[in-house]
Amino acid sequence: MTEARHATEARRPAGTLERHGHIGTQREQGPKKPGALSDGQGPAGPDGHEATVLLRESRASVDPELRSAIASLPASMRRIALYHFGWQHADGTPAGGNAGKAIRPALVLTSAAALGGPGARTAAARAAAAVELVHNFTLLHDDVMDRDTTRRHRPTAWTVFGDADAILAGDALQALALRLLAADPHPASPAAAARLADCVMELCEGQHADTAMERRAPGEVTLDETLAMAEAKTGALLGCACALGALYAGAAAEDVEALDAFGREAGLAFQLIDDVIGIWGDPRRTGKPAGADLAARKKSLPVVAALTSGTPAAAELAELYAAPYEEGEEDLERTALAVERAGGRDWAQVQAADRMARAVQELARAVRDPEAAGGLLALAEFVTRRSA
Amino acid sequence: MTEARHATEARRPAGTLERHGHIGTQREQGPKKPGALSDGQGPAGPDGHEATVLLRESRASVDPELRSAIASLPASMRRIALYHFGWQHADGTPAGGNAGKAIRPALVLTSAAALGGPGARTAAARAAAAVELVHNFTLLHDDVMDRDTTRRHRPTAWTVFGDADAILAGDALQALALRLLAADPHPASPAAAARLADCVMELCEGQHADTAMERRAPGEVTLDETLAMAEAKTGALLGCACALGALYAGAAAEDVEALDAFGREAGLAFQLIDDVIGIWGDPRRTGKPAGADLAARKKSLPVVAALTSGTPAAAELAELYAAPYEEGEEDLERTALAVERAGGRDWAQVQAADRMARAVQELARAVRDPEAAGGLLALAEFVTRRSA
């Protein structure tokens, strides 16, 4: 999921109010060293090994479905999609490709395998591709709305093809996603399609809430609504991915819901950690300048927690956030310190741990065999492991 | 279909290059007298009576489905959708409502009835609502891309809620459309969903082609590609509406295809007539100034036919089109005359008649009983009957 950390944030003019995240995703990292988290490989250390293998295997299963689906698009839409996925350059020549780590398809396949074994995993490949198409449709639209110019280290589609074509390509990818499921003869496909469509509506609501919140004064935003927004924007599609895998495994309704909750909680844990990194992350690890979120005056989760803490530091933070960022280290250091002294950092880390605990609990409800649950646990830990 | 004639065209600055039409629709008419074609009533004359009754009856069947579907949207998206459909004012208070004539749902229901009787018509209500949702999703996005400020005599959604929310509401309506079909237990629903999703991709392609063509020099646009664009943009969704009705009637594959072709041909006939009206229409009937399409230098079908005619008038027209519109009657009169002398008007009228003949032929292939085919014929004649 780290593929979405925004390289562009750092380039924004000082004081630009910026949205918390993006439809169903997180922010994109800037250029970074090979082997770092967002290059599709992940660390090969012992703690990330299982997740890395799962991600690689799920890419191998989903890419053929994804490529054949995209090949079926009308020519003009296909061209934009192939560019967006990193499989073609803007001029239509083949590109090496950096389509992201595809954590969502991996959640679909690993959930299917956890509840239904290898057969269910194989059967769910099309659903996994559908989830990835929905994710990418939201990225295309999101970049237009945000005027973000970089995604996965390349110029965003709208900067290359224009707004209209980027919007149209997003529309086409949503249609393609739901078409994949409509044409899938698997008995779970209608329920999966309904669930994925519901998720799209929730993503839209989350994106709307995010935009609306960023326009409001810092003092007018509550922590509950910030958490609800993050759940709709980030948690919903991760939950949906897990739920689709469960549906394709023929799981009982309560297990489908438990896996959905697992994905949502893990998604929220990820978002909390991502927000902490957005403030205190080591630029050498995150690939973006320290404090970029603060410079953009983003109402990220630790910031809202700090603002609503009722502490003296909260008042200081509100004052800092009321004025645009002043170029230089001092503003950022003061702001980060105010968030920390108001308890925002601790709160976010405790919350993230709490969400992960809830995720594990939900997972245990749905997948009773710890060995079968291992893959999903590894993926959840993988996406939330980066320490600030 | 005439609900979509753009009132805004007339307000565009002189010389603004303007797109040919809109995703899957036609241009909106300006303010007009009650009882005129676009107010949802239609003329009560004998030739339009059957169509008027069909449209009214289909509104009555589809509106409850549509309203209940929209009620299920998340609050923020629901608000924008209710505004767009004319059921709420921007402040959320109830509005009288002008959601258009809903010709597409009428085509779904009338096709179902023609091939499967009243039972099929009843069963297809959800599919009819899905088609109308797709149509409206494209209108929302289209207005953003075109910067159109008026739709159905009201400010467009993006002017009221902003670009981001209008894009998100369009995304949500597409999801809602495909969700309706995914949740529909009717055996035809998966095939209908796949077909509707395919149609969305074709609408995107048509919209892309239209935008791209309007950016090119007049001499670089061929008649074949203009016809192909109009088919993708206008014909595809009318054809899809008819095909969905046939699917819900349990029709054979060749009858589904014949009804799709019927809708496409009727859609093209409509577009041809609409383009003729865009040049020579009586402002008292069309509600917009004569020659607005020419003032906008639109590459409409009669214009492209004229430009590619190889006549001396074609050269004159190309010269006029190379320069921005000069305020005043004279430019428009000269341009209209050049299109006419180059044969553009005659060609469009002959083509429209030819397309209608093909539509009738396709209809007869699928619906052998002339009485059963009467409703569809009446709808096709209704939408293409306005004479220039």
Of B144, B163, B198, the CB nearest to A179: B198
Q: Please give the C-alpha separations between residue B254 and each of A269, A300, B212, B257, in angstroms, as whole numbers.
A: 53, 56, 34, 5
DSSP state string for A203-259: HHHHHHHHHHHHHS-GGG--HHHHHHHHIIIIIHHHHHHHHHHHHHTT--HHHHHHH
The reply to whether B228 touches chain A by the CB within 8 Å rule is no
Structure tokens at A58: 């799920």
When scoring A208, A210, A211, A214 by the number of chain B Cβ atoms within 10 A, the one with the most, hence best to mutate, is: A208
When scoring A158, A165, A180, A204 by the number of chain B Cβ atoms within 10 A, the one with the most, hence best to mutate, is: A204
Question: Which residue does chain B place closest to A232, by CA atoms?
Answer: B74
CB-count exposure of residue B364 (10 Å: 0-12, 13-18, 19+): middle
Q: What is the pLDDT of residue A5?
A: 36
CB-count exposure of residue B337 (10 Å: 0-12, 13-18, 19+): middle
Residue A94 three-state SS: strand
Q: Are A3 and A152 in contact (CB under 8 A)?
A: yes
When scoring A167, A176, A186, A207 by the number of chain B Cβ atoms within 10 A, the one with the most, hence best to mutate, is: A167
The Cα of A54 is separated from the nearest Cα of chain B by a number of Å equal to 30
When scoring A77, A161, A178 by the number of chain B Cβ atoms within 10 A, the one with the most, hence best to mutate, is: A178
When scoring A171, A173, A198 by the number of chain B Cβ atoms within 10 A, the one with the most, hence best to mutate, is: A171
The reply to whether A145 touches chain B by the CB within 8 Å rule is yes
Structure tokens at A184: 């899938």
Q: A22 has which bridge partners?
A: A25
Summarised one tens digit per residue, pLDDT across range B240-260 is 999 999 999 999 999 999 999
Max intra-chain CA distance, chain A: 60
Q: Which residues contact B13 (CB under 8 A, 6 or more apart)?
A: none
B201 and A165 within 8 Å at the Cβ level: the answer is no
Q: What is the pLDDT of residue A153?
A: 86
Helix H or strand E encompassing A155: strand A154-155
Q: Cα–Cα distance between B278 and A309 in angstroms, integer?
A: 62
Residue A296 three-state SS: coil
Q: What is the pLDDT of residue A24?
A: 33
Q: Cα–Cα distance between A113 and A126 in angstroms, integer?
A: 14
A171 and B209 within 8 Å at the Cβ level: the answer is no
Partner B, chain A 156-175, Cβ-Cβ below 8 Å: 163-165, 167-172, 174-175
Q: Are B161 and B215 in contact (CB under 8 A)?
A: no
The reply to whether B183 touches chain A by the CB within 8 Å rule is yes
The reply to whether B244 touches chain A by the CB within 8 Å rule is no
Of B74, B172, B193, the CB nearest to A193: B193
Q: What is the pLDDT of residue B47?
A: 60
pLDDT of chain A, 388 residues: tens digit per residue: 333 333 333 333 333 323 333 333 334 333 332 222 333 333 434 467 899 999 999 999 999 999 999 999 999 999 999 999 999 999 999 998 776 789 999 999 999 999 999 999 999 999 999 999 999 999 999 999 988 898 888 999 999 999 999 999 999 999 999 999 999 999 999 999 999 999 999 999 999 999 899 889 888 999 999 999 999 999 999 999 999 999 999 999 999 999 999 999 999 999 999 999 889 887 776 666 678 789 889 999 999 999 999 999 999 999 999 988 888 778 889 999 999 999 999 999 999 999 999 999 999 999 999 999 999 999 999 988 754 3
The Cα of A178 is separated from the nearest Cα of chain B by a number of Å equal to 7
Q: Which residues contact A62 (CB under 8 A, 6 or more apart)?
A: A102, A105, A109, A125, A128, A129, A132
A205 and B165 within 8 Å at the Cβ level: the answer is no
Q: Cα–Cα distance between A37 and A286 in angstroms, integer?
A: 9
Backbone φ/ψ region at B216: left (φ over 0), alpha (ψ -120 to 50), beta = beta
Of B141, B179, B207, the CB nearest to A197: B179
Q: Please give the C-alpha separations between residue B322 and each of A79, A129, B276, in angstroms, as whole numbers.
A: 30, 47, 21
B201 and A169 within 8 Å at the Cβ level: the answer is no
Instruction: Provide, as residue numbers in chain B, all residues whose Cβ is less than 8 Å from the Cβ of A189.
Output: 190
Q: What is the pLDDT of residue A3?
A: 38
CATH number belonging to the domain at A2-384, selected among 3.90.1720.10, 1.10.600.10, 3.20.20.70, 1.10.4080.10: 1.10.600.10
Of A165, A183, A197, the CB nearest to B178: A197
| pLDDT score of B104 more than 70 | yes
Q: Cα–Cα distance between B238 and B268 in angstroms, integer?
A: 10
B170 and A169 within 8 Å at the Cβ level: the answer is no
Question: Which residue does chain B place closest to A189, by CA atoms?
Answer: B182
Q: B25 has which bridge partners?
A: B22
Mean per-residue pLDDT, B124-130? 98
Summarised one tens digit per residue, pLDDT across range B9-32 is 333 333 332 333 333 333 433 333
Helix H or strand E encompassing A154: strand A154-155
Q: B94 has which bridge partners?
A: B88
How many Cα atoms sit within 13 Å of A331 on the Cβ side? 19
Instruction: Provide, as residue numbers in chain B, all residues whose Cβ is less than 8 Å from the Cβ of A190.
Output: 182-183, 189-190
Question: With b meaning 16 or more CB within 10 Å and e meaning fewer, what string describes A310-322?
Answer: ebebbebbbebbe
Q: Are A181 and B162 in contact (CB under 8 A)?
A: no
B211 and A165 within 8 Å at the Cβ level: the answer is yes
In three-state form (DSSP H/G/I as H, E/B as E, the rest C), the secondary structure along chain B is: CHHHCCCHHHHCCCCCCCCCCECCECCCCCCCCCCCHHHCCCCCCHHHHHHHHHHHHHHHHHHHHHHHHHHCCCHHHHHHHHHHCCCECCCCCECCCCCCCCHHHHHHHHHHHHHHHHHHHHHCHHHHHHHHHHHHHHHHHHHHHHCCCEECCEECHHHHHCHHHHHHHHHHHHHHHHHHHHCCCCCCHHHHHHHHHHHHHHHHHHHHHHHHHHHCCHHHCCHHHHHHHHHHHHHHHHHHHHHHHHHHCCCCHHHHHHHHHHHHHHHHHHHHHHHHHHHHCCHHHHCCCCCHHHHCCCCCHHHHHHHCCCCHHHHHHHHHHHCCCCCCHHHHHHHHHHHHHCCHHHHHHHHHHHHHHHHHHHHHHHCCCHHHHHHHHHHHHHHHCCCC
Instruction: Kindly calculate the radius of gyration of chain B based on its CA atoms and give it in whole angstroms.
Output: 20
Instruction: Provide, as residue numbers in chain B, all residues whose Cβ is less than 8 Å from the Cβ of A144.
Output: 167
When scoring A73, A201, A225, A240 by the number of chain B Cβ atoms within 10 A, the one with the most, hence best to mutate, is: A201
The reply to whether B71 touches chain A by the CB within 8 Å rule is no
The Cα of B60 is separated from the nearest Cα of chain A by a number of Å equal to 26
Residues in chain B: 388
When scoring A139, A140, A144, A179 by the number of chain B Cβ atoms within 10 A, the one with the most, hence best to mutate, is: A179
| pLDDT score of B281 more than 80 | yes
The Cα of A343 is separated from the nearest Cα of chain B by a number of Å equal to 32
Instruction: Provide, as residue numbers in chain B, all residues whose Cβ is less than 8 Å from the Cβ of A197.
Output: 175-176, 178-179, 182
The Cα of A174 is separated from the nearest Cα of chain B by a number of Å equal to 8
Instruction: Provide, as residue numbers in chain A, all residues whose Cβ is less than 8 Å from the Cβ of B144.
Output: 167
Q: What is the pLDDT of residue B6?
A: 38
Nearest to B143 by CA among B126, B165, B127, B121: B165
Residue A185 three-state SS: coil
Q: Are A65 and A180 in contact (CB under 8 A)?
A: yes
- Report how far Cα B351 is from the mean position of its chain's Cα atoms: 18
Nearest to B317 by CA among B298, B328, A113: B298
Q: Are B130 and B141 in contact (CB under 8 A)?
A: no
Question: Which residue does chain B place closest to A211, by CA atoms?
Answer: B164
ipTM over 0.95: no
Instruction: Provide, as residue numbers in chain A, all residues whose Cβ is less than 8 Å from the Cβ of B183.
Output: 190, 194
A194 and B207 within 8 Å at the Cβ level: the answer is no
The reply to whether A17 touches chain B by the CB within 8 Å rule is no
Structure tokens at B209: 């082609």
Nearest to B158 by CA among B136, B174, B142: B142
Q: Cα–Cα distance between A181 and A364 in angstroms, integer?
A: 28
| pLDDT score of B349 more than 90 | yes
A164 and B211 within 8 Å at the Cβ level: the answer is yes
Q: Cα–Cα distance between A158 and A140 in angstroms, integer?
A: 8
A197 and B176 within 8 Å at the Cβ level: the answer is yes
Helix H or strand E encompassing A137: helix A125-146
Of B172, B200, B204, the CB nearest to A204: B172
